[in-house]
Chain A
């Protein structure tokens, strides 16, 4: 299960994720992001309540990162230890802007 809470402030989009971002739920996030990324220059992903992220979820983050690197910036905030460990292992920590 994954809850996606989006809030827009001008050209800033904040997406708070809650639950598990895995093979089953990552297509939802991918669709959801594709719908609302037009004209966005600042994308903030709040992962405070994200319990788990799988490689399929990382793929969505990578795709978002690539799009945002062309039209603005993207950062990931409130990363908990579980997700941070996955970021470390996969090297995403070096690519993403994590706060």
Chain B
């Protein structure tokens, strides 16, 4: 599936792409992880400090009780007596049960009652479950009750015992007097209990009993539970508040501006497509976040301005090009119309037929042909090629054509026409341009051509023998090169049926894809393929031959051709073609 563009997305799909909700989600997840960590640490610290406090209280309570007891009564005899009786009972059989009869006498003793009454005072303290006097018996790993002031159902008689862990017992018995002596256990009856103890040493320095205080840790557990719920509720509340504020802030500083830029970009594209001329999509945003987003909006605004400028330039350049193209095509029409191009050219003269063709390589060219009557009996023909191509050549061609025809109308010889033209052009030719010219004047009545050649291609002539051949005529220098040059005339005697073919180097130097030139041989072959054809057909044959030779290769030079077919006067035709019946 190809990705959808933002324009194709529904509102819901866009929401999924919302930066705000993504940040919200990640903030919530982060907060939860952070909250749980803080909760665990908090719970640990809370319970540790509470338990520590309870231990301290229990321990000092035990110390206190012992202190009072020591002042009030001698514990040693009772403890010794109970332990002796206990050992005696357990010595026979470890698994023997408690014998109430055997120990009941201890409860009657005066010292027992005093001890109980002192210790019972301590039962009223908060969290204190039990305060009692007991001793450990190492042999049976048991704690033996000596005096328990509790008068509830849980009351323990002297000599009653409970099994204890060996490690706990050893810790109590071997206590060095530093720190606090305590043990935390989970009991089935009372839940979590913390037992703190202070040993009582007899006259021989041996431990005779422990004052033990049991403190219930139920409050700690309950406290932890309520702490957990309060904490969770608090964190949840803060998290939501924080998340909400964060989203509001994000919307203001991040999402809002980004959406504005994105909307501006969409509007920009839309307006561009619909051709609306709005130029301040981005520059009117006015985003002042002072961060990358503001930079982005500035960059976009710059881009919009640059694009607008670029477009303006492009429009101007295009308009300029358009104008130049229009002018060029106009120039092309003017140039084309400057050359005689209505056929038949001289329908009133049956003595000859003339046809010419010119195709510039660009819009305008430097080649030109011309033919015009100087008087009733003289036809002037010009074939010329200006150096270079395009507009410079075209301008030079126009000037050359007019100067040549003006001179020709003065009824002077071709060599003089060329000389006058050359001198005039050379007098003001800073660009060193030149033009090759073949100029000939046909005496219509006799068929005699007087011609002069200023650096132009050899003309091709077909005489009665029926084949075209080049005339290696006397060449002068090109016109426009060096002033003061002389040109010489020569004559071509045209018989009825003779044909003259003039051309520019665009014909002989037309190149194919491999840069091979068309050449004069191919040109003559094309002419001689159908030498009896009329002027127009001959030129068409050459044109087709060049097209076939060059293929798709672009025409690189102007191509210009002129063909004169001399038919002579009617009586001359009779002379030259005696076989034809009048």
Contacts and interface: CB of A to CB of B under 8 A. Distances in A.
Interface string A46-59: 00000010111011
A55 to B, nearest CB: 4
B387 A92 contact: no
Interface in B394-453: 432-434, 436
A22 to B, nearest CB: 8
A59 B477 contact: no
A89 B432 contact: no
B509 interface: yes
B476 interface: yes
Given A59-B433, A66-B432, A95-B482, A89 B475 contact: yes
Nearest to A59: B387
A94 B454 CA distance: 12
A90 B456 CA distance: 6
A94 B477 contact: yes
A90 B432 contact: no
* Most chain B CB within a 10 A radius of its CB, from A63, A88, A89: A89
B388 A92 contact: no
A62 to B, nearest CB: 5
A23 interface: yes
A47 B291 CA distance: 68
Given A66-B432, A89-B456, A58 B478 contact: yes
A10 interface: no
B387 A55 contact: yes
A22 B361 CA distance: 14
B208 interface: no
Contact of A90 (B436, B482, B515): B436
A90 B433 contact: no
B258 to A, nearest CB: 54
A85 to B, nearest CB: 10
A59 B482 CA distance: 12
Contacts, number: 62
B505 to A, nearest CB: 7
Contact of A54 (B456, B476, B557): B557
Contact of B475 (A22, A54, A91): A91
Contacts of A89: 436, 455-458, 475
* Most chain B CB within a 10 A radius of its CB, from A52, A58, A62, A92: A62
Interface string B192-231: 0000000000000000000000000000000000000000
Interface string A78-99: 0000000000111110110000
A55 B386 CA distance: 8
A57 to B, nearest CB: 9
Interface in B444-503: 454-458, 475-478, 481-482
Given A55-B387, A56-B387, A58-B387, A91 B454 contact: yes
Contacts of B505: 54-55
A20 B481 CA distance: 22
* Most chain A CB within a 10 A radius of its CB, from B433, B434, B481, B509: B481
Contacts of B281: none
B385 interface: yes
Given A23-B389, A54-B505, A55-B505, A88 B475 contact: yes
A52 B557 CA distance: 14
A55 B475 contact: no
A3 to B, nearest CB: 16
A55 B385 contact: yes
B36 to A, nearest CB: 79
Contacts of A95: 477, 481-482
A25 B385 CA distance: 19
Interface string B535-563: 00000000000000000000011000000
30 contacts: A22-B556, A23-B389, A52-B517, A55-B385, A55-B386, A55-B388, A55-B436, A59-B388, A59-B433, A59-B434, A62-B434, A62-B478, A63-B432, A88-B475, A89-B436, A89-B455, A89-B458, A90-B436, A90-B455, A90-B456, A90-B477, A90-B478, A91-B476, A91-B477, A91-B478, A92-B455, A92-B478, A94-B477, A95-B477, A95-B481
Given A54-B557, A59-B433, A62-B432, 10 more contacts: A54-B509, A55-B387, A58-B387, A62-B478, A66-B432, A89-B436, A89-B455, A89-B456, A89-B475, A95-B477
